[in-house]
Amino acid sequence: MQAANWLRREARRIRKPLQRSALATALQALALVAQAWLLADILDAALFRHAPLAQLWPQWWGLLLLAPLRLLLNLYARRTAFAAGLDLGTQLRARLLTRAQALGPLGLRAQASGDLITRLVDGVDAVLPYFARYLPQVSTAALVPLLLALFVFPADWISGLILLLTAPLIPFFMVLVGNAAEHASRQRYAQLTRLGAAFMDALGGLSTLRQLGAAERVAQRLDADGEDYRKLTMQVLRVAFLSALVLEFFATVSIAVVAVLIGFRLLWHELSFRDGLFVLLLAPEFYLPLRALGTLRHARMDALAAAQQMAVLDDAPPQASAPLAGGHHAPSDHAPGVRIDNVNYVHAGRAAALRECSFELQPRRVTALVGATGSGKSTLLNLLLGFAPPGSGRVLVDGVDLADLDMAQWRARVAWVPQQTHIFEGSVRDNLLLAEPRADAMALQRAAADSGLDAALARLPQGWDTPLGEHGLGLSGGELQRLALARALLREHANVWLLDEPTAHLDADSAQAVERVIRAAAATRTVLLVAHRLATAQAADRVVVLRDGRVVEQGAPRELMRAQGAYAALLQAEAR
């Protein structure tokens, strides 16, 4: 029911173009009536009234002129409906993409990427025929038979009565046969969604599958899923062909009944030839819109199946994990002081990630955030980036709530180095310029030298122009980390650095070089360093220790070591 309501709501967006298409269809039907009457009159005059051809030229000219008029009206109706459906599809895809983006990084983690892609691509493609073809045909099936019946009844009321009595049989059997196909169509779309999600997961984890020796098993499972999808598709097509056959049968029988009765009454001189021929010419056109609607019923079934999933995404209420919308305050140009003030946060369906968490990030200082896995370090980074609002408490930047800052300007002031660097399709230069598109060659060289990326560039065959591929093919893990650090260095205007284990995958000498870069950057910036290896935290000005989402200890590294508390315990555990 939700899918049908959603489709009706979307259809209202293109109501005016569909009305123009229906008007053109109605005019085309009137032109058809005129053509049928002229043709019947010409043949009646020539065969039975023996009228000379010179007297029939007006009818011939009318017949010929109506043909291109019908063609133009038909083209206009189709193009208007198709353009409206295409525009709606474009708007729908953009709106669903916006809704998906509104989920934010945290919300998107709960979505299977293949499922989401199927909704945005195949799902929208599945509803396009519904708006562009099925809905216009519904209008045609409602208007044209009624218009034709208005002209058939004065010519022959018996034939008109037969048409009206037999017309409901076509939609009745269309619904009867289509109910079975509707269930199959929903199963087919659900299988397509599962297949898309499984394929994307297998493609993304292909290296892992190869290492585990599971690639062949996953390939067999995908093959089985593909075979199931093929069977469901053939099942839908069988029902569609069966319904088309049933509709054609009833339409043909109905036309035959009209023709037989007209023939007998012509023999009995109860009906004139002109009226009988006129009705016979209109009878197939009377059933044609209904038959066409039956052949397009699969478009409605596919749209209902796709809309079920798209409506869930489109009508989903704002989630707690949705990114901050932000306000209108502009962040300062200097290194800000940041305070985490009694912040709580709970991931959906999980235990609390942060509990009454409070600490400060001092400007021009390096603050290290340490703790065991699952203690809330990554959640804090997401809150600072504005990827999600706190459940309670506040994140204050120079005393201003982060929710009141302009998010675009705030993120422009933040340089983020994630633990797993994402590399985009393109060259090394392209991947760096993502951080600062206006950077010149000198800025690129400076960022590469400070991050240590220049050593990797020296061995690459095409230097800056070396294509990397989506997963950074051609660079080691340490070199990818250097590229991420170079992105941060390239954003010279960023006065807040959020670093998630920037020395991961680096040898000791490279790690020390990176730490020197971070220390130099801290002279004009506020730096938060998430340290999974505690050796990285030793060079920080302050250390904040998290345990189960709570701040259990904070202070200078040496003071915390002397205190023999949680930080010292972590150091001892790492040493073992």
Output DSSP code: residue 397.
E
Q: Say whether both 90 and 38 belong to one domain.
A: yes
* pLDDT recorded at residue 27: 94
pLDDT value at 321 more than 60: no
Q: What CATH number is attached to the domain comprising 95?
A: 1.20.1560.10
Does any domain span residue 273?
Answer: yes
Nearest to 471 by CA among 415, 503, 426: 426
Residue-averaged pLDDT of the chain: 82
In angstroms, the CA 540 to CA 524 distance is 15
pLDDT value at 236 more than 90: no
* pLDDT recorded at residue 315: 63
Long-range contacts of 18-23 (CB under 8 A, 24+ apart): 18/81, 18/84, 18/135, 18/136, 18/139, 20/80, 21/76, 21/77, 21/78, 21/80, 21/81, 21/84, 21/136, 21/139, 22/77, 22/136, 22/139, 22/140, 22/143
Sign of the Cα pseudo-torsion (369, 372, 376, 382, in order)? positive
Q: Say whether both 302 and 341 belong to one domain.
A: no
In angstroms, the CA 395 to CA 528 distance is 14
Q: What CATH number is attached to the domain comprising 387?
A: 3.40.50.300
In angstroms, the CA 496 to CA 263 distance is 90
With cut-offs at 50, 70 and 90, classify the pLDDT of residue 417.
Answer: confident
Q: Say whether both 124 and 157 belong to one domain.
A: yes
Nearest to 448 by CA among 428, 427, 475: 428
| Number of residues written out for the chain | 576
Backbone angles phi, psi at 394, to 5 degrees: -140, 155
Q: Say whether both 383 and 239 belong to one domain.
A: no
Does any domain span residue 486?
Answer: no
Helical (H) or strand (E) element with 339: strand 338-346
* pLDDT recorded at residue 558: 86
Nearest to 10 by CA among 116, 127, 121, 120: 127
* pLDDT recorded at residue 180: 61
Which residue spans within 250-309 are E strands per DSSP?
none
Q: Say whether both 249 and 378 belong to one domain.
A: no
In angstroms, the CA 514 to CA 530 distance is 14
Contacts of 312 (CB under 8 A, 6+ apart): 2
Half-sphere exposure of 279 (CA within 13 A, CB side): 31
Domain count, the chain: 2
Does any domain span residue 260?
Answer: yes
Does any domain span residue 457?
Answer: no
Nearest to 140 by CA among 82, 74, 70, 84: 74
Q: Say whether both 258 and 162 belong to one domain.
A: yes
* pLDDT recorded at residue 32: 92
Share of the chain above pLDDT 90, in %: 8
Contacts of 507 (CB under 8 A, 6+ apart): 478
Q: Say whether both 183 and 133 belong to one domain.
A: yes
Q: Say whether both 278 and 395 belong to one domain.
A: no
The greatest distance separating any two alpha carbons of the chain, rounded to the nearest whole angstrom, comes to 122
Residue at which a domain ends, from 281, 314, 347: 314
Mean pLDDT of 222-232: 86
Does any domain span residue 124?
Answer: yes
Q: Say whether both 74 and 145 belong to one domain.
A: yes
Give the angle subtended at the CA of 486 by the CAs of 484 and 492, to the nearest 5°.
Answer: 120
Contacts of 451 (CB under 8 A, 6+ apart): 482, 483, 485, 486, 489, 514, 517
Does any domain span residue 475?
Answer: no
Sign of the Cα pseudo-torsion (287, 292, 294, 297, in order)? negative
Q: Say whether both 241 and 340 belong to one domain.
A: no
Helical (H) or strand (E) element with 40: helix 15-47
With cut-offs at 50, 70 and 90, classify the pLDDT of residue 345.
Answer: confident
What residue numbers bound the domain in which 342 lies? 336-413+498-505+527-576
Q: Say whether both 375 and 293 belong to one domain.
A: no
Backbone angles phi, psi at 118, to 5 degrees: -60, -40
Residue at which a domain ends, from 314, 348, 373: 314
Give the angle subtended at the CA of 143 by the CAs of 41 and 91, to the nearest 5°.
Answer: 135
Does any domain span residue 466?
Answer: no
pLDDT value at 107 more than 70: no
Does any domain span residue 458?
Answer: no
Contact 495, 526 (CB under 8 A): yes
Backbone angles phi, psi at 334, to 5 degrees: -100, 175
pLDDT tens string 43-59: 888 787 777 767 778 88
With cut-offs at 50, 70 and 90, classify the pLDDT of residue 115.
Answer: low
pLDDT tens string 458-479: 888 888 888 876 555 567 777 7
In angstroms, the CA 91 to CA 73 distance is 27
Nearest to 548 by CA among 361, 352, 392, 342: 352
**Distances in whole angstroms, Cα of residue 400 to Cα of each of 8, 274, 385, 406:** 45, 86, 15, 11
Q: Say whether both 245 and 351 belong to one domain.
A: no
Output DSSP code: residue 439.
-
Q: Are strands 366-371 and 392-397 parallel, antiparallel or unpaired?
A: unpaired
Q: Which of 22-36, 169-183, 213-227 has the highest mean pLDDT?
A: 22-36
